[in-house]
Amino acid sequence: MPLSKEQVKHVARLARLKLSLKETEEYTRELTTILNYIDQLKSVNTEEVPAWNQSATMENVFREDEIRLSLPREKVLGNAANRDDEYFHVPRVIGR
């Protein structure tokens, strides 16, 4: 099933990506090719097969809810694009 340019724009919006006109065209073409290949999954009979995505025999892992040392604040904030003293600084999110 070919993907439309509108669908690609919608997905880009969901993923918080801005695409140029050229990128939109290229991704429409490439994603269509990839999804056409992926469509072969439809021919597999998976009735009665449960979904599985755990690569290990998993049990719940618990730990005591104790206060532990966290990472050094200066090291973590050192990677901030913009900081304000002890905080990450972001554009205003509350209406003026």
Partner 1 sequence: MDSYVPPYDATAVTRLIDAGAVIIGKTNMDEFAMGSSNETSYYGPVKNPFDHTLTPGGSSGGSAAAVAQKIVPIALGSETGGSVRQPAAFCGLFGLKPSYGSVSRYGLVAHASSTDQISPLASNVRDLALVYKTACGRDPNDSTSVAFDHPDYPGLLETNGKLRIGIQKECFAEGLDSEIDKVVRDAIKALEHDGHTCVDISLPSTEYAIACYYIITPAEASANLARFDGVRYGLRVGSDESLDDMYSKTRSVGFGREVKRRIMLGTYALSSGYYDAYYLKASKVRELIRREYEDAFSKVDLIVSPTTPTAAFRLGEKIDDPLAMYLSDIYTIPASLTGCPAISVPFSRMSDGRPVGVQFTASYFDELSLFQIAHILEHWI
Interface with partner 1 (CB under 8 A): 3, 7-8, 11-12, 14-19, 23, 27, 30-31, 33-35, 37-42, 44, 46, 49-58, 61, 63, 71-72, 75-76, 78-82, 88, 90-93
Closest distance to partner 1 from the beta carbon of 21 (Å): 13
Which of 2, 88 has the CB closer to partner 1?
88
The dihedrals phi and psi of 65, each to the nearest 5 degrees, come to: -85, 75
Q: How far apart are CA 24 and CA 42, in angstroms?
A: 27
Closest distance to partner 1 from the beta carbon of 62 (Å): 9
Residue that is written with structure tokens 């021919």 in the block? 43
Closest distance to partner 1 from the beta carbon of 59 (Å): 10
Residue 8, classified by CB atoms within 10 Å of its CB into exposed (0-12), middle (13-18) or buried (19+), is: buried
Token pair listed for 83: 């900081």
